[in-house]
Structures are given as C-alpha cells and as structure tokens.
Chains A and B, each alone.
Chain A
C-alpha cells in the first residue's frame, strides 16, 4: 500500500539520466534503442509486462467492453439462478488424482448472494482497476509534467508560485484527499473517479520534472536551440522533455502501481467505486467477512490486486534500471576479485 504521490514516494535526488546521456552518445546506438535493449535484457520486467498485458487482455476479452460482448457467457450485472450453492465450479485437479478434471463449470469463481457470476465480476474488477491505473497515471503524469516543466524552465516567480501550489496539494496525504474525492465522485463511475483522483496525484511528478528541467535548461543543447530561435514551448516539449522522459516514465509506472492500491484502500473505506459497478477493491472489501467461510470470494480479487500491483512495480523497476543503469554498475563480485578478504570482519 502506498501513495500515488510520485516515484515511490521519493524523488531520487542524485539520479540524473542527463549524465547518462553523455555516456550514451558515445555509443553508436540511439538512446531509445539502448534503453530498449537494457529493458529487454531484464527478464523479470519483460515477463511482467507480458503477464500484465495478458491479464488485462483476458479480462477485456472475457466479458467484453460496453456493448461489445466477450467470450464468457455471463455479464457482470446479470442475475443468474444459484447453482452449486454459489460455490465455485472451477476444478483444476485431474480425474486420476481424485478431482473432477480440468473444467470451468457454470460459475468457475462461484456466485454472489443475488446470483451474479463472480468470474464476470472479477473480470470487470480487473478492467476497472486497469482503467483507474491507466487513467490516473496518465492524468497525473500529464499535469505533473506540465507544471514541473513550466516551473523548472521559467524559474523565478513562476516556479515559486507553482511549487507553492504543489505544496498546498502535497500537504494532504493521498489517502485523505482520495477519500474526500471518492466520497464526492465515487458514485459517478470508475472513469470520473480515476480522472478526479488523477488531478490530485500529480505533485510528485511535478517536483521530479522540475528538478530535471532546472538542470537540463542549463545545458548546451538548450542554449543552441534558443540561439536558433526556437520558441519556449518548442524548447520545453521538443528539446528538454525528451531528455527527462526517463524520470517521467519511471514515476508514471510507480504511480500506476500505487493507483491500484489507492483504489483498493478507498473501496475498503467505502469511498471507491460503488456497486453495481465493480472494482477489485470493492469485491475484496465487501467480501472480507467471507474470509473464513467462503474464501474464494476474498482470494480471487485479492490475488489479482496483488498480481497487478506487483507486476506494475516490477515493470517500473525494470524501466528504472533501463533508464538509469548506474545501479547495475557496481558489483561486489568484481570487488572480490581484486580484494582477497571481502568479508565484514577485519583481519589483522
């Protein structure tokens, strides 16, 4: 559980990919390709991206979106007659092991008390959580980049005013402002909630981007662009911003991971997405009393929440390594080769 205030909660102060660029330019490969190669080299991150996309694809293909139907026979709102006492019909134990063979059955994840198919609801929950994640992340990033870029580029009064405004928003803990926003907009549906939450989650990125801009704007290529007569907006968005993309992308990913958890926490407090729409957080919090008695109502959405957040975090970590590979440069094993006694103990 964390807050969507920024890259994790902290701007990594000394990590300026700008320094990296100088190194990278000496390599006969474009910056983008280099980062891509590093990212692809990170197995955990790549596998995470694939699984993440598969989960989201699975949820959208299963129950469709809006009027487009999916391959699963039930919708998440439809009431069906209770079968098997609402218990899950999913079976994974093959027959020769005493199970019922591998089959989905009518309602693989069971049904809720009024007969809605829990599999369809879980899929809808994934859709909504993914939606909240992406929309919140995008809005927070766009607003944050804009504020941070303007503040960092123009400095002086503009910077002071924008940063004080950022401070005003940052003073309130994310969960607190999230509760208030959710209390207000939760009943208007997932997209509205996600957009509104996004407008209160940009502060971390704004601070990071401002820091980047403050240092990048002093660089020669900016000076060159200015001399060539480029407008401020062009310098900001065409020249400086691409160089700050590392920080932006990494912190956007981390905001997305915490967005899932924020929505879950809000649902637990009763301020998130409201029934009859479904989110994973809502499912898990409305079924927490089922924890001991009908654990599948609790564990399926729980497992998906944890997986989504975990996968996005892994992707973010992989991206950070790709954009800022210095963390990988130091290897103790290399030190060991040069030093005979690498252990903590001192030898006389």
Chain B
C-alpha cells in the first residue's frame, strides 16, 4: 500500500512538472492590426501560392504572379500596366528610355536609394542577372521534340516567358556607379517597353551559388561567352548552381525558414503563409518607389469556389473578391451591400474557321456561315446580364479598351457580320447545304451555350452544324478533325508578341492554317514606330474580315466584389486583377 501511494506521489510530481513546462507566458487577446492605422485588407484568390519566383514554367500561375507584383519582381518595378492597358512608368524606383532606334538601345537607371528588403542596395548587378535570366543568352541547348528533354548543350535559366526580343541583345553595358544598364538589341523589338529588368536579388543568388557578392556574379556573367547551339561548351558549374537556385530554389510548400527567399524589392514583403489557406504580406519599409501602400498588411485568402467567395465576402471574411462572373453572382453581390465593379476581361471568345478543310475552301461558304452566327444573341445571354454596357467584339487584334479599336472597327468590314443575315447566307450558299463540325470545350458552359446558339441559327440557312465538342478540346486543336473551333484567347491588352503567334502562317497559335496575313504579322514584331505598327495591324484586321477568317465574339465579363470597408479598388481585366493599384487601397474606419 505504501509503495502504491509512493508511486502515486511520484506520478503527481511528474505531472505537476509537465504542467508547468506546458504553460505559456499568459498572453491573451489578439495582436490587433491597428499597429500604424493602415489596416488589413483580405483578398480572395483562387489558387494557392507555390513559388517566390513566378517566372519559371512550373510556377507561372496567377497567385504567384500577383505576389510577385506586390514584391516588385517582373511587372511592377520600372513600370506597371494600368486598367486602361497603358504602360505607366514608375519613375521613383527607376527610369528607362530608348536612346536610339538603330540599333535599338535602351538604358535603365535605378534610384540610388533603392534597397532590397534585407537592406542591401538594388544595383545594376540585379538588372544584369535579370537580363541573363530572361534573355537565354547563355543557353546552348537543343531540345529533343519527342521527349521534351535537352538533347545537347545546356539550358541554364528555365523561364515561362519567351526569350523573343531579348535573345538578340548583346551583353549589357553597366555604368560606373553600378546603377544603370544599357541594352542593345540586334533586331528591333516591338515590346521593349514591357521588359522589366528586376527579378531575383543578385546578392542572394550569388550567395546560393557559392559566390561572395553580387559583383562576383556579374563578373562571372561577363566572363562567360554567349551560348552556342551548334557547338555547346561545357556547362559552367557556378552559373549552373545559380540557375538551379533561381529555377527551383524559390518553389516552396511551406513558409520558408530561409529569410533569403523572402527578399523583396517591391512595396510589400511576405510575412506568413498557411499553405492552402492564406498568404500574408506587409509593407516593405525599405521601398522608396512610388507604389507605397496605404494599408499595412494584405492577406491573400485561398478560396477556389466562386460561390464560397461570395459567401465569404458577405460574411466579412474577405474584403475583395474576383469570382467567375454570372448574373446571379452579380445580383447576390449587390444584395450583400458590397461595391460591385464590372468590366471586361482580357480574354475573349472567338470562332475560327479552318482554311485547310474542304468545306471552307470556298470564301462564299465561309461568309455564309459567319453571317448566321448570332453574336448579339450570344452576347445578350452570356455577357449583358453581367455587364449591360458590353458590345459584340469586332476586331481580331484589339479590345475596346485599346485606343485604335474604334477606328479599326469602322473600317475593317466587321459591319458585314453585325446582324444575323439568314437570307444573305442562303444567297451565298446558292442551295448548298454544307455540314460544319465545330470543336469546343464541353466543360465550359459558355462555349456550350455559344455552340447551341450557332447550331440553331445556322440550321435556318441550311447549314448543318455537327457537335464535335470535347473536354479534350485543347489537344485536338492541333490536328483534330474539325472545321471550326470555338475557344478563347487571352489578349495581354498590351504588347504585340501574340500577333505573329496567331496570325503568321507558322505561328504556334495558328490552328486554322490561315495564310492571308503572314507577311504583315511577321513585320509587326520588328516595327518600333507606333503609328506604323497600328497601320500594319489595321491592315491585318481588315484582311481577316475580308477573308472570312472567323469572328471574334465577346470579351468575357469580369466582376469584383469589394467590401464597404475598403476603398480605392478599381476594375482591371488582366491577370493582375484587383491588385493592379494596391497602393491606392485604404481601409475606412
């Protein structure tokens, strides 16, 4: 009995010890957000964050890009794109200007006060690294098309964007104060203004590659020759290490314990991440550019389901949402008392006709089919309920937000297809009853509705529309058995890189084998004079309607819901979404 009680006492003692070990210092309550009065704004995003480098093929996702925008790499350092798709220069961070057209020369100059969020200065070393990353200057690889793997040579930096443009530049010149960098293009590059040479911090990349400073990294880059595909040299181990870090070192599955990954040159720095739930950023006190946010803290809340986003806004859990737009979402948002901002997205749906299919070999058949497409009806059922001001899209090149749109539409011949013209179509067909197979994505309700509307209307003119839609539509685009396709392009809103991609004969996006604008489309890529460029593009736009290329249908409508707590949010249709003017947001009291 005595032993039993003794062991009992021992157990009690151990328990008491464990108890004291397991208590906290007694902190109660919350850490409130009212540190400096700017407040917190919570924004719903659809996808989770995966990487602090949003430029690699595997990490080029919307949320990564938005975090990158807030952190100042690629897309928000020297300039940003505003809601009207103008390139706005951000002069307080740094300036850039084109000093010569022949050869095209561009000089970037940093503000001497620019610092990374670890206190290190931003210098030309960082710009040189960014140029090396984006230009593919050192790559010497040839890729085996069958397996997708590198056959010979070396690819250093893996990037999602094309190297087109920067690939013709020579090694840049750096000024003596190490604050400016000059790029000289081998051939003129039309989208030079979109080049933004601030990416990863060179001092961090140098450290990870085993070098002692950013200057050492620049010295290494300067010493290495341009990659030669015909005669690949042995890979440089240090650059390999640096590139490997940039390629995959920023990919994370939890908030990094290594503070080097969090270094930011932009207005905000990441301070926390609960994977799958929320990503937190706070104001970067070292940032001296013009995009200094009024709010202290921003939380990105991951909510994949559009309806869940609406309820979360209604329940005060998020302040800004950007859900998939539908008339019901819109009404529901209006009922919650939130501010509702609507507009167009940069992506637009279009109907393309295959020029290599026998049914469309004849221009008259193409025209007749296009005349039956009920574009206004489609717009009225899909877009108008969300955005009452929406109009049918009438240009293959521009969206209405672009300045040349109105002028081009007036002259490009789109008027011929303004209304459904069954009689006109019948006249063109002259008794023929062609059968048209349309490929579309059966999982996308918009495309399904578009298809049904076209099918019904075309039948009136004697055209049989056959449903060859598939959830696997994307792999059928190239080489599938169909006559016309319904799908969407994402127009970046600015820049002309996509034009040759879609409208030149060998362009990777030319699924309908159209050859009518080949020369002009290629010419656009090297045209630096904006007026000449617009003239070229207008000519293409007109040519395509004359050839009955197909028809643009509408821009997808977009909607933001904004809680009354927050003001300053404005609609933006591109991938940056509501974040485009985050520095203007403020929290109302």
User: Taking the complex as a whole, does A directly touch B, i.e. does some CB pair lie under 8 Å apart?
Assistant: yes
B442 and A274 contact, CB distance less than 8 A? yes
Q: Bound complex: CA of A114 vs CA of B446, how far in Å?
A: 10
A287 and B442 contact, CB distance less than 8 A? no
B456 and A79 contact, CB distance less than 8 A? yes
Question: Known: A79-B452, A276-B452. Is A287-B381 also a contact (CB below 8 A)?
Answer: no
A293 and B328 contact, CB distance less than 8 A? yes
Q: Does B278 contact A (CB under 8 A)?
A: no
- Which of chain B's residues have a CB closer than 8 A to the CB of A186? 471
User: Number of A interface residues, CB 8 Å?
Assistant: 22
From A113, A275, A276, give the contact of B385 (CB < 8 A): A113
B442 and A292 contact, CB distance less than 8 A? no
B331 and A293 contact, CB distance less than 8 A? yes
B328 and A114 contact, CB distance less than 8 A? no
B449 and A113 contact, CB distance less than 8 A? yes
A289 and B453 contact, CB distance less than 8 A? no
B335 and A292 contact, CB distance less than 8 A? yes
Q: How far is the CB of A268 from chain B (nearest CB, A)?
A: 10
Q: How far is the CB of A283 from chain B (nearest CB, A)?
A: 12
State which residues 169-210 of A face B: CB under 8 Å.
183, 186-187
B470 and A275 contact, CB distance less than 8 A? no
Q: Does A290 contact B (CB under 8 A)?
A: yes
Per-position binary interface string of chain B over residues 273-299, scored 1 when its CB falls under 8 Å from any chain A CB and 0 otherwise: 000000000000000000000000000
- Which of chain A's residues have a CB closer than 8 A to the CB of B470? 187
Q: Does A11 contact B (CB under 8 A)?
A: no
Question: Known: A115-B381, A270-B443, A289-B307. Is A79-B453 also a contact (CB below 8 A)?
Answer: yes
B381 and A293 contact, CB distance less than 8 A? no
Per-position binary interface string of chain A over residues 257-287, scored 1 when its CB falls under 8 Å from any chain B CB and 0 otherwise: 0000000000000100011100000000011
A276 and B448 contact, CB distance less than 8 A? yes
Q: Bound complex: CA of A183 vs CA of B443, how far in Å?
A: 10
A113 and B331 contact, CB distance less than 8 A? no
State which residues 315-343 of B face A: CB under 8 Å.
326-329, 331-332, 335
Number of A-B contacts (CB under 8 A): 59
- Which of chain A's residues have a CB closer than 8 A to the CB of B443? 187, 270, 274
A289 and B310 contact, CB distance less than 8 A? yes
Q: How far is the CB of B438 from chain A (nearest CB, A)?
A: 13
Question: Known: A114-B453, A274-B471. Is A290-B442 also a contact (CB below 8 A)?
Answer: no
Q: Does B479 contact A (CB under 8 A)?
A: no
From B332, B442, B452, B469, give the contact of A289 (CB < 8 A): B332
Question: Known: A186-B471, A187-B470. Is A275-B442 also a contact (CB below 8 A)?
Answer: yes
Q: Bound complex: CA of A288 vs CA of B332, how far in Å?
A: 11
Q: Bound complex: CA of A204 vs CA of B334, how far in Å?
A: 48
Q: Does B522 contact A (CB under 8 A)?
A: no
Beta-carbon nearest neighbor of A274 in chain B = B442
From B335, B382, B385, B452, give the contact of A77 (CB < 8 A): B452
Q: How far is the CB of B465 from chain A (nearest CB, A)?
A: 12
From B328, B381, B471, give the contact of A290 (CB < 8 A): B328
Question: Known: A115-B381, A187-B470. Is A292-B452 also a contact (CB below 8 A)?
Answer: no
Beta-carbon nearest neighbor of A186 in chain B = B471
Q: How far is the CB of A78 from chain B (nearest CB, A)?
A: 8
Q: How far is the CB of A144 from chain B (nearest CB, A)?
A: 30
Q: Bound complex: CA of A42 vs CA of B310, how far in Å?
A: 46
Q: Does B306 contact A (CB under 8 A)?
A: yes
Q: Does A38 contact B (CB under 8 A)?
A: no
Q: Bound complex: CA of A183 vs CA of B449, how far in Å?
A: 21
Q: Does A239 contact B (CB under 8 A)?
A: no
Q: Bound complex: CA of A262 vs CA of B295, how far in Å?
A: 46
Per-position binary interface string of chain A over residues 229-260, scored 1 when its CB falls under 8 Å from any chain B CB and 0 otherwise: 00000000000000000000000000000000
Q: Bound complex: CA of A286 vs CA of B443, how far in Å?
A: 11
Q: Bound complex: CA of A275 vs CA of B449, how far in Å?
A: 9
A114 and B449 contact, CB distance less than 8 A? yes
Q: How far is the CB of A88 from chain B (nearest CB, A)?
A: 15
Q: Does B445 contact A (CB under 8 A)?
A: yes
Q: Does A294 contact B (CB under 8 A)?
A: yes
- Which of chain B's residues have a CB closer than 8 A to the CB of A79? 452-453, 456
B453 and A294 contact, CB distance less than 8 A? no
- Which of chain A's residues have a CB closer than 8 A to the CB of B442? 187, 274-275
Q: Bound complex: CA of A114 vs CA of B307, how far in Å?
A: 21
Question: Known: A113-B385, A187-B442, A292-B335. Is A287-B449 also a contact (CB below 8 A)?
Answer: no
Q: Bound complex: CA of A186 vs CA of B442, how far in Å?
A: 10
A275 and B328 contact, CB distance less than 8 A? no
Q: Bound complex: CA of A43 vs CA of B327, how far in Å?
A: 45
B329 and A113 contact, CB distance less than 8 A? no
State which residues 295-309 of B face A: CB under 8 Å.
306-307
Per-position binary interface string of chain B over residues 378-410, scored 1 when its CB falls under 8 Å from any chain A CB and 0 otherwise: 000110010000000000000000000000000
Q: Bound complex: CA of A291 vs CA of B306, how far in Å?
A: 13
Question: Known: A113-B381, A187-B470, A275-B445. Is A292-B453 also a contact (CB below 8 A)?
Answer: no
A293 and B452 contact, CB distance less than 8 A? no
A–B complex contacts, Cβ < 8 Å, 5 sampled:
A113-B327, A114-B381, A187-B443, A292-B331, A293-B331
Seen from chain B, the residues whose Cβ lies within 8 Å of a Cβ on chain A are 306-307, 310, 326-329, 331-332, 335, 381-382, 385, 442-443, 445, 448-449, 451-453, 456, 469-471
Seen from chain A, the residues whose Cβ lies within 8 Å of a Cβ on chain B are 77-79, 113-115, 183, 186-187, 270, 274-276, 286-294
- Known A113-B449, A276-B448, A289-B332; 4 more pairs at CB < 8 Å: A113-B381, A113-B385, A183-B471, A276-B452
Considering the complex of A and B, which 4 residue pairs feature the smallest CB-CB distances, nearest first? Answer: A293-B331, A290-B328, A289-B328, A114-B381
